[in-house]
Chains A and B, each alone.
Chain A
Amino acid sequence: MAGTGTAAPIDARHKGPKGAPGSLAAYWAMILPVVVFYLLFLAWPYLALLAMSLYRFNSTTLYTPTFTLENYISVLGDGFYISLLGSTVLLGLGVTLATLLLGYPLAMAIVRARPRMKAFLLIVSLSPLLVNLVVRTYAWLVLLGDKGIINAWLMSLGAIAEPLPINNNFVAVSLGLVHVTLPLMIISLVGIMERIDPSLLEAAESLGAGPWRILSRVHFQLCLPGVGTGSLLVFCSAISAFVTPRLLGGNRFSTISTVIYEKFMFSLNWPLGATLVFLLLAINFAVIAIHGRLFREH
């Protein structure tokens, strides 16, 4: 029993070279609630979702519980879904590259800065994480709309006559997602850059390497594990996001996630939506596996 104080029955515990005091049962009792909770609200719903992807769509009862692979066959055989898959992956790659290019110099500046400046830059970098996702996306909606701020500026300056097509498309969704995911890249990069031994860079400099060579041959190579982690986080978040793509992409630009949302909330084709969910999960796990293979030695 946990915490019956000094009157606890004395038994043969305190085994093993390490570990906190007390009986093992007490520790299992601490873990049990979380396990039960996760079995009930994670494992069970996910298994139900898997079953759903194998059910047959029925427009009146939502689905009929007979197992079939036809959802998977129709998704993988349909040009629409294949091109959806393509544009989703492309979006993920574009966002990842952009966060890397934007995040790298800022991460370097953070690591070099003095304590006060460092705290300021860290708060700035991480602030998107703390500002509501809807609010952040709303900001881009306001900036990029046909009557949005950027178009209004440009038109009042006389630079353009017609609004630029910068909303409801790939560019708009990418910009929004870069803003949303940038902190993940910066955290990963700062994490790895903090651990780089400065004497390695000094050694390269003493051997005559200029700053660009040090950056490409030493610094970037040393940062690769962080680049890998950051890219993984950004890519997976980007392809799985749906609030930002939905609001900024409108009806004209879709990703797998926005279609999942649409299937579950509007067209109510849950079996097909569930099938797309497992397509999305498959991409996620494939990327995680690739990451694991590439960065195993680190």
Chain B
Amino acid sequence: MFDRVVRLGALLTVLFILGPLVVIIGASFTTTPFVAFPPQGFTLDWYRQLMGKPDFLRSFLDSVLLGVATTAGAALVGIPAAIGLQHSGVRGRAALRSFVLAPLTLPTIVTGVALLQFYYAIDLDAPLAGLLAGHMLVTIPFYVRTVGAALISLDPSLQEAAESLGAGVLRTHLRVTLPAIAPSIFAATTFVFITSFDQVTISVFLSSPDLMPLPIRIYNYIEFAVDPMVAAISTVLILLSFAIVAVMQRLLGLDRAFIGGGN
């Protein structure tokens, strides 16, 4: 009885989570001009129509570019910081770490408006740089936290072993520390890219007609129209996300990637 209730509850929650996504995917194939589920008939017209929208395609490419740039920038700044913050000789590293992790606690909307009025005040006229800085701000903490957690669970003797064998600082970190925590770095990189690619809250405030990441393009579109074409592009994005996760699960195991770095 008890087990059945638990299972039923779990099933309901799974349906609640997946239901809307299934509806979207199904509705993208409907022949009706409005969103219908179950879909009426079957057509790929909405996908064809999507291909004919150059602004969506451009936004997609902009988002990819922004995601790649953000991932590279956050990794270059965040990974060394995680290693540096690990060193016991660094004074006030607990305070420094909370400072660096702050964007995880601060509401993203606040960071968004803070940057909006800051760029206005300093008269920044570089939309890509502005978006990049905003995205890096909220993704660097992923690297600091994930890599930091990996370093803590790393046997400190590894670095001592490398040193006793004659390796300098650079060689120790490049040949021993980083490869030893490579799985965590890989997991963090995947999440940083997805986070940047899907980032809405900050981008809303910082994008311009010339540079509009895909989520903002969709957001602006559905404020006025809810038609099956959005279902089509949503389906593309859903499948993309699941493909990435499936690959990660294959390579890493999700338990480690999610639960390990949590809290």
Main secondary structure of the interface of A (DSSP, over half): helix
A191 touches B259 (CB 8 A): yes
Which 4 residue pairs spanning A and B have beta carbons closest together? A3-B170, A105-B9, A22-B169, A240-B107
Contact digits for A216-244, partner B, Cβ 8 Å, 1 yes 0 no: 00000000000001000000100011110
**In the complex, what residue of chain A is closest to B119 when comparing beta carbons?**
A45
- Give the B-binding residues of A (Cβ under 8 A): 2-6, 8, 15-16, 18-24, 26-31, 33-35, 37-38, 41-42, 44-46, 48-49, 52, 102-106, 108-110, 118-119, 121-128, 130-136, 138-143, 145, 147-149, 152, 178-179, 182, 187-188, 190-191, 194, 210-212, 215, 229, 236, 240-243, 247, 257, 260-261, 264-265, 270, 273-274, 277, 280-281, 284, 288
Determine if A31 and B96 form an interchain contact, defined as CB atoms under 8 angstroms apart.
yes
A143→B226 contact, CB < 8 A: no
Q: Which residue of A lies closest to B25 (CB)?
A: A139
Tell me which residues across on chain A come within 8 A of B13, comparing CB atoms. 102-103, 105-106, 182
* B90 engages A28 (CB within 8 Å): yes
Least distance between B202 CB and chain A CB atoms (Å): 11
Q: Is the CB of B163 within 8 A of A21?
A: yes
Question: Once the chains bind, are A102 and B113 in contact (CB under 8 Å)?
Answer: no
* Residues of chain B whose beta carbon lies under 8 Å from any beta carbon of chain A: 1-3, 5-10, 12-14, 16-18, 20-21, 23-24, 27, 34-37, 76-78, 80-81, 83-90, 96, 99-100, 102-103, 105-111, 113-118, 121, 133-134, 136-137, 140, 144, 156, 159-160, 162-163, 166-172, 177, 194, 198, 200-201, 204-205, 215, 218-219, 222-223, 226, 230-231, 234, 237-238, 241-242, 244-246, 249, 253-255, 258-259, 262-263
Q: Which residue of A lies closest to B236 (CB)?
A: A135
Q: List 5 A-B contacts (CB under 8 A).
A: A41-B137, A44-B118, A106-B14, A140-B20, A274-B113
Q: How far is the CA of A288 from the CA of B83 in the complex (A)?
A: 28
Contact A42 B226 (CB under 8 A): no
Q: Are B140 and A34 in contact (CB under 8 A)?
A: yes
For B169, list chain A residues within 8 Å (CB). Answer: 2-3, 8, 21-23, 26
Which of A8, A20, A280 is packed against the most chain B CB atoms within 10 Å? A20
* Nearest-Cβ distance from residue B114 to partner chain A, whole angstroms: 4
The residue among A35, A104, A108, A149 with the most chain B CB atoms within 10 A of its own CB is A149
Cβ contact within 8 Å between A45 and B200: no
Chain B residues whose CB sits within 8 angstroms of the CB of A103 once the complex forms = 13
Known: A16-B88, A132-B237, A236-B105. 9 other contacts (CB 8 A): A2-B170, A15-B89, A21-B159, A22-B172, A24-B90, A31-B80, A123-B254, A143-B23, A182-B16
Residues on B with C-beta less than 8 A from A215 are 2
Contact present for B254 and A30 (CB under 8 Å): no
Q: Are B14 and A3 in contact (CB under 8 A)?
A: no
CA of A147 to CA of B37, assembled, Å: 12
Query: Do B263 and A229 touch (CB < 8 A)?
Result: yes
Instruction: Indicate which residue in B2, B81, B234 contacts A138 across the interface (CB closer than 8 Å).
Output: B234
- List, in ascending order, chain A residues with CB within 8 A of B218's CB: 132, 134-135, 138
Asked if A243 contacts B258 (CB within 8 A), the reply is no
**CA A237 – CA B192 in complex, angstroms?**
19
**Are B9 and A264 interface neighbours, CB within 8 A?**
no
